[in-house]
A and B are shown apart, each in its own frame.
Chain A
């Protein structure tokens, strides 16, 4: 009955990322979609399942349907998903379930947005001001970094995490982005650079915060037996799990741990593997402290130990658990809800052994994890290049 090994990713592609003013959010979504289908060696006519998330820069009432119309494809399964940053792996999980249930055979997941150049200042302000509970949070004027700063301070206070340890997360991400030819921010940074960057919402400084980007990415998944006849090494979905604790941060049961614990346990259980089996992990790095909390909740470190783990170099390529090998949301790119799509396409590159200078040696299995809201809804997926 398990979904383990039933479905594989057979196509993956990114668009240009960073500042891409010459393409609309719609065009980025379509560009990503077409590239991923081509990467799979398929044609759009092979796609009978289609998933997107809405764009903030160019929203449609029914986004996936609008994109299908634009492409003139006529899927049997068509979903616009929206759960913030956690969306990517939730839709991957759900698309795999749809394939396994026989609803469709080959699903294209394409997500893009233009937050860097496609949003007016006024619209950006409206979007930022509308996060949070409309009656019980929004009136207090927090920003998204502010909501995460509430977690950051509680976590730092509980475990004595140092500013240098937090900065090491940003420095590691930037070093990895420097190895990625298309990352938005490739100039190396130091711990001192992070500590000297301006305070946005104490204790989060500018370089503790992820980027604002344009860009899109897409993947194609299909039945494992079909995947084996296609051009690339199949990247099998070995395990997946969700975890949900709250939506609004003022309702969080804990400020120092998250439902990543449940999502990770569920994904590992389906895969029949554990955190020590992972050759790499792509975790959600919207802000540096989130990475530390996730590394702990996903079983890679004990509580309070992730700061030292990253500062000691274990999370770098060549370390015991390389994380965010493309540079993550902190340095590769972050176009909003599509952000973790790039963690997924990077995981595919790693498991195809095609990641170039970023390649994790002998990578066979890795974890991808994302969360949406304010450390709210989590989804973890274990991927591997053999069963």
Chain B
């Protein structure tokens, strides 16, 4: 079984958002910074006035790797699969898989778009080439 994220009090809204098809960033009500992952306070100004804002879903690949040796049995049938860091159009970076793609054809700077994978009761963000 692939790992299913377990939400905590700070991330419950984020994971609930994923189940509604939205990737929620935190926007600081005081300094307007966007951040990911969800936190108690704004890492730029320290304010706790954080609001949820849905990301547009547009992103680019900052870096990626093609995993040839799976981390666990649950991932073995996916080999080769792609793990990437993607930069959202809003600024923050997150880790994801690049799915529905030819791994050999990917490149740094490539535009990708948000999609979701249903894993148990939880949808998790994934990205696919435009």
Q: Which residues of A contact B (CB under 8 A)?
A: 125, 128-129, 132-143, 145-146, 149-154, 157, 198-204, 249-251, 255
Q: Are A137 and B95 in contact (CB under 8 A)?
A: yes
29 sample A-B contacts, Cβ–Cβ < 8 Å, listed by A number? A128-B71, A129-B3, A129-B71, A134-B5, A134-B6, A135-B8, A135-B11, A136-B95, A139-B3, A141-B72, A141-B78, A141-B83, A141-B97, A142-B65, A143-B67, A143-B71, A145-B69, A146-B65, A152-B65, A153-B63, A153-B64, A153-B65, A157-B108, A199-B68, A200-B68, A201-B67, A201-B83, A202-B68, A249-B85
Expressed in whole angstroms, the minimum distance between the Cβ of A325 and any Cβ of chain B is 30
B15-49, CB < 8 A from A = 37
Q: Which of B11, B62, B63, B75 has the most CB of A within 10 A?
A: B63
| Chain B residues within an 8 Å CB radius of A141 | 2, 67, 70-72, 74-75, 78, 81, 83, 97
Q: Are B63 and A150 in contact (CB under 8 A)?
A: yes
Q: Are A139 and B119 in contact (CB under 8 A)?
A: yes
| Chain B residues within an 8 Å CB radius of A255 | 62-63, 85
Expressed in whole angstroms, the minimum distance between the Cβ of A123 and any Cβ of chain B is 12
Give me the 3 closest cross-chain CB pairs, A-B, nearest first: A149-B65, A154-B63, A250-B95
Residue in contact with A129 in the complex, picked from B63, B64, B72, B119, CB distance below 8 Å: B72
Expressed in whole angstroms, the minimum distance between the Cβ of A242 and any Cβ of chain B is 21
Given contacts A141-B81, A150-B83, A201-B69, 16 further A-B contacts (CB under 8 A): A125-B73, A129-B72, A133-B37, A141-B75, A141-B97, A142-B67, A146-B65, A146-B83, A150-B63, A150-B65, A153-B65, A199-B66, A202-B68, A249-B85, A249-B95, A251-B37
Q: Which residues of B contact A (CB under 8 A)?
A: 2-8, 11, 37, 62-75, 78, 81, 83-85, 93-97, 108, 119, 124
| Chain B residues within an 8 Å CB radius of A250 | 85, 93-95
Residue of A nearest to B79 (CB): A141
Residue of B nearest to A125 (CB): B72
Residue of A nearest to B93 (CB): A250
| Chain A residues within an 8 Å CB radius of B62 | 154, 255
Expressed in whole angstroms, the minimum distance between the Cβ of B103 and any Cβ of chain A is 8
Q: Are A140 and B83 in contact (CB under 8 A)?
A: yes
Residue of B nearest to A148 (CB): B65
Residue of B nearest to A137 (CB): B95
Expressed in whole angstroms, the minimum distance between the Cβ of B53 and any Cβ of chain A is 17
Residue in contact with B83 in the complex, picked from A133, A142, A198, A251, CB distance below 8 Å: A142
Given A138-B3, A139-B3, A141-B97: A198 and B68 within 8 A (CB)? Answer: yes
| Chain A residues within an 8 Å CB radius of B5 | 134-136, 139
| Chain B residues within an 8 Å CB radius of A154 | 62-63, 108
Q: Are A200 and B69 in contact (CB under 8 A)?
A: yes
Given A134-B5, A202-B65, A250-B85: A142 and B71 within 8 A (CB)? Answer: yes
Q: Are B66 and A201 in contact (CB under 8 A)?
A: yes
- Complex Cα distance, B95 from A296, in Å, reads 26
Q: Are B65 and A135 in contact (CB under 8 A)?
A: no
- Complex Cα distance, B75 from A187, in Å, reads 34
- Complex Cα distance, B37 from A201, in Å, reads 25
| Chain A residues within an 8 Å CB radius of B8 | 135
Expressed in whole angstroms, the minimum distance between the Cβ of B112 and any Cβ of chain A is 14
| Chain A residues within an 8 Å CB radius of B108 | 153-154, 157
